[in-house]
Structure 1
Amino acid sequence: MIGAGPGGLAAAVKLKQAGLHDFVVVERADDVGGSWHENTYPGLGVDIPAVAYQYSFARNATWSRVFPYGAEVKKYHQDVARKFGLYRHMRFETDIAREEWDDTGNYWKLITDSGEVITARFLISAVGAFVRPKEEAGIPGRLNYQGKYQRPSSWDHSWDHRGKKVGIIGTGASAVQIIPAIAPEVAELTVFQRTPVWSLPKPDFPMPRAGQRLLAVPGLQAALHGVVLVVVDLALRGAISVPTETAKKAMTWFDRVTIALYERYLGLVVKDPATRAELTPDFGPLAKRPTMSNGYLRAYNRANVGLVTEGIEEITATGIRTRDGVEHEFDMIVLATGYEVFSDPETYRPGTIVGRNGFDLGKFWTENGMQAYESVSVPGLPNRWTLVGPYSWTGSGWHSFVEMTADHAVRAITEGLRRKAAVVEVRKEALDSYHAEIFRRAEPIRFYFNELNAHTPTYYRNSQGDSTYVRPSGFFEASRGHRRFPLDDYSYETAPVR
């Protein structure tokens, strides 16, 4: 298995519950947790309630807050790994550079960045949704800067930013947390915004002891989480089940009304009219990832915080030059410029995932559009499943989502072992049938991102103009699909095929 984040831990537990103990989890970092281990930036925390951000098999009643901070979420994943005996299966500080199927031996060769080869009969890719930070922010002169760079994914806490002049590029989810966290500590903070972000109030507060005791009541957390999933399920199913024209009218009305309401909210929170106007989005709340924060918008009321919407021309030795010719000098620049995401074909470099008879996943998705059976498996990649694939997210918390895709992988592996198969591979006709239906049902979602909000840059719409981030079905339908897919949608080969 590749990856020891939330998905990798879920799959590891599911394997053990199925009686499969002969597995290794390969992780590039030095501990479990994925992004919750790698990210330690100021203000880091979850943006959905903790009761919806945990595994069904490891519910925690002692969260310190409704929306816990990053360190507590990291500890939760470490505790899960310890509780289920997963550390003995871990191989840390091992970065996989290439996956290659051996047609003769019917196994996967995982080539590390140091050239070592690890072999595996079955392979689960649990690299997650945000695969790697964008090394190049698309801004000229990045290497010219002589000051301190910080990235959300590799924050250097030994560098003291207090009293310094700081610039931050980006206003995505991490920036929304960093900005209010460091604004009281720095001398000046300048935010470079390309696109405004929706930032809604966050109903966060410390969890009282009485609340923790209540959450410890057997079945209560599951029931609360179930109610949330039902609401999300109904909303998503409603968007895709009504006639397309009706859905388009409803989406248009929804965006118009919510934008007007958000403008009123900004009027109550942001004091300066010019800044308020720059912070006002001209797109719907679901066109980009919405955020929740009680401090982000209010940070712009501080005298030491400024907002720049002029485009960046280049990064210089001392700071940032914008296209209007203004030089902005900084002691530190935060590159909150995002990640390469699982739903973009460019994330999968040609030659890095090569299957049967030279099948190249990167080339296949570039030429044919991103597609996978039930989001997890692709013909030409036998004995391999991915936990975060095309059309996979159903609006749930991350743990619920990766649990269901892990269920699919473990079910297929278990059936392959039961049939004594050397090769388990999804049938092309099964993928074609599934993808045709999922693509048809995604038409309202494509309208929302590609037409109604076409002017808005978002990772919910990939470079091919497709919206492969979201699965156009309800949560419960997706869960049933992963747990009850027809077993004969896969082929099971007991001997090598020549």
Structure 2
Amino acid sequence: MNDRRIDHEALIVGAGFGGMGAAIEFTRLGIEDFLILEREDDLGGTWHVNHYPGLAVDIASVTYSYSFEPNPYWSRLFAPGAELKKYAAHIADKYDLRRRMEFGVIVEQAVWDDDGEFWTVRTHDGRTHTARYLVTATGFLSQPHTPDFPGIDSFAGDIIHTTDWRDGYDFGGRRAAVIGTGATAVQLIPEIARRARALTVFQRTPIWVVPKVDFPIPRPVQHLFAKVPLAQKAARAVNTSLLEMLMVFGVLRYQQAKPGNQVAALLAKTHLRLQVRDRETRKALTPHYDFGCKRPTFSNSYFRVFNQQNVALETGTIDHIEPDGIVTADGTKILADTLVLATGFNLWDVNFPAFQIVGRDGRDLGQWWRDGRFQAYEGITVPRFPNFLTLNSPYSYSGLSYFTTIEGQMKHIGRLFGEMRRRGTRRFEVTERANADFLDRVTKNLASSVFYAGDCSGSRSYYFNQHGEATLLRPESTLTSLREQASFPLDDYEYA
């Protein structure tokens, strides 16, 4: 093999928490020659791209962070988005990652060279990079979905997508229309309702919303966390246990623990009843699918906005858009001069993967997934894709905090590369047998989840791909996932 053709030992695409986690693990392994390519103008992933009013984590901050790098100074139990962005910058600086990052670089293609045993990565500016190992850390929610409503180009007012927010935009005196009622909209809508002259919320599918137990973290508690890390570790353990109960018993083990799911749904319905006065509005805001089919969210202010005189809920199908408003299928026209698209992301058509990846024997990863079944061994490697790690992949998301997934994958990388070092090899590829066995196992385990044993028919959930399979979540407890990532059979890989 001609090493002079290799620009870097490893190339990581994405400078969010996943990409930085992989970089930290490489550094621990003694792999210092890596490059991180990021399409945005700074690091932080979703916490850099998103900065709309009301942005905050929807998992308690003590859990939504690396366990090995706790932040004792979160201002609230559910920290504002700006603090996550600051935390990302802290990680990059502490682990000396920023100097290895290139920003404003859009990766278009990666192709495996089987003779030279390296990846060639092409970017939008015509450059190429070669690397022995390729890691994609492009995130699960990185490709915004912009609906192609007839006439949207004719709209005379302002159109704002939540991922391209205009900081300082003033809704005062304006007639706003928000399309979408997912987790982002739940955070954003109360902020718009405070200022707008009129706000119409276009809902296609209602979302399960439970009370948000949020409060400022007092300074003495922050100082305690800083001086006694064990205290924050205990708080993290308690919160993680609560999330685990919600995820495992409410979603993944629905068939065995259906009463637990029903209790969660009852809590959300009670929350709705206590906050919304109008009976018809409550009915329209009540989901007609089981709790957990879509990712639920937390809020104490979302439902209450529908009591305001300036806020209306519209459940009619959008037919088309005119210069001064939106027309529904029944001919109703809602006037608007600001259109906010809280329309989420496109996972399965363009995000898995986020650019073309061609492995051994010319296998195109995106085409292979979409023509067949979405799959990845342990949610991180794929057969016929040597020296390739995909962090945002089918069956990879573990638990409710993304950091559980990241740290599990870091364990997997450490074990895999440690074995290559022991063998004196530099190439790995998961076997077809190991991949098939893992796919069979997770498919079987998901059979008892709410996705298949419950009623998700009306959910329009991004958990389901275009084949109707719920292939995003790993159907195991986080403890099981972490243990398996650190102890998978080493002969599930071939080494050379």
For normalisation by structure 1, the TM-score amounts to 0.92
Map 1:70-469 to 2 at 5 A. Answer: 70-135=81-146, 137-157=147-167, 159-216=169-226, 217-233=228-244, 248=255, 250-251=257-258, 253-341=259-347, 344=348, 347-348=351-352, 352-445=356-449, 448-449=451-452, 452-469=455-472
Q: 1:13 aligns with which of 14, 17, 24?
A: 24
Cα separation, 1, equivalents of 2:394 and 2:244:
19
Number of paired residues? 484
Q: CA deviation at 1:249?
A: 6.7
Cα separation, 1, equivalents of 2:218 and 2:233:
19
Q: 2:488 aligns with which of 479, 485, 488?
A: 485
Q: Deviations over 1:5-30 (max 9, x none)?
A: 11011111111122221111111111
Q: Are the aligned partners of 2:252 and 2:448 in contact in 1 as well (CA < 8 Å)?
A: no
Distance 1:298 1:231, change over 3 A: closer
Cα separation, 2, equivalents of 1:259 and 1:400:
25
Q: Deviations over 1:22-80 (max 9, x none)?
A: 11111111111100001011110111111001111210111111111111110011011
Q: Could you say which residue in structure 1 is the equivalent of 2:473? A: 470
Task: Compare 351-360 and 416-425 and name the one that shifted more.
Answer: 416-425
Q: Are the aligned partners of 1:450 and 1:461 in contact in 2 as well (CA < 8 Å)?
A: no
Q: CA deviation at 1:392?
A: 1.6
Q: Could you say which residue in structure 2 is the equivalent of 1:44? A: 55
Q: CA deviation at 1:416?
A: 2.8
Q: CA deviation at 1:383?
A: 0.3
Task: Compare 366-375 and 26-35 and name the one that shifted more.
Answer: 366-375
Aligned residue type for 2:442: I
- Structure 2: 5+ residue stretches without partners: 1-11
Q: Are the aligned partners of 2:107 and 2:355 in contact in 1 as well (CA < 8 Å)?
A: no
Aligned residue type for 2:133: F
Q: Deviations over 1:99-134 (max 9, x none)?
A: 111122111111112222111110111111113101
Q: CA deviation at 1:363?
A: 2.0
Q: CA deviation at 1:163?
A: 1.6
Cα separation, 2, equivalents of 1:233 and 1:192:
32
Aligned residue type for 2:185: A
Distance 1:377 1:215, change over 3 A: same
Q: Could you say which residue in structure 2 is the equivalent of 1:53? A: 64
Distance 1:300 1:146, change over 3 A: same
Cα separation, 2, equivalents of 1:150 and 1:8:
28
Q: Are the aligned partners of 2:140 and 2:351 in contact in 1 as well (CA < 8 Å)?
A: no
Distance 1:159 1:224, change over 3 A: closer
Q: Deviations over 1:281-321 (max 9, x none)?
A: 22222111111111111111111111101110012222211
Look up the SS of the partner of 2:129 in the other structure: strand
Cα separation, 2, equivalents of 1:60 and 1:398:
16
Q: Deviations over 1:426-461 (max 9, x none)?
A: 11111111211121111112x535752222211122
Aligned residue type for 2:237: G
Q: Deviations over 1:363-411 (max 9, x none)?
A: 2212331111101000111100111211122214111221211221243
Q: CA deviation at 1:231?
A: 4.6
Distance 1:321 1:94, change over 3 A: same
Cα separation, 1, equivalents of 2:213 and 2:103:
37
- Structure 1: 5+ residue stretches without partners: 494-498
Q: Are the aligned partners of 2:255 and 2:453 in contact in 1 as well (CA < 8 Å)?
A: no
Q: Could you say which residue in structure 1 is the equivalent of 2:8? A: none
Cα separation, 2, equivalents of 1:414 and 1:322:
59
Cα separation, 1, equivalents of 2:249 and 2:172:
49
Cα separation, 2, equivalents of 1:239 and 1:287:
10
Q: Are the aligned partners of 1:239 and 1:444 in contact in 2 as well (CA < 8 Å)?
A: no
Look up the SS of the partner of 2:79 in the other structure: coil
Q: Could you say which residue in structure 1 is the equivalent of 2:39? A: 28
Aligned residue type for 2:116: G
C-alpha root-mean-square deviation of aligned residues, in Å?
2.2
Task: Compare 331-340 and 151-160 and name the one that shifted more.
Answer: 151-160
Q: Deviations over 1:230-288 (max 9, x none)?
A: 4544665567997xxxx53743x455554444333322211222212211122222111
Distance 1:401 1:110, change over 3 A: same
* Amino-acid identity (%): 39
Cα separation, 2, equivalents of 1:104 and 1:248:
49
For normalisation by structure 2, the TM-score amounts to 0.92
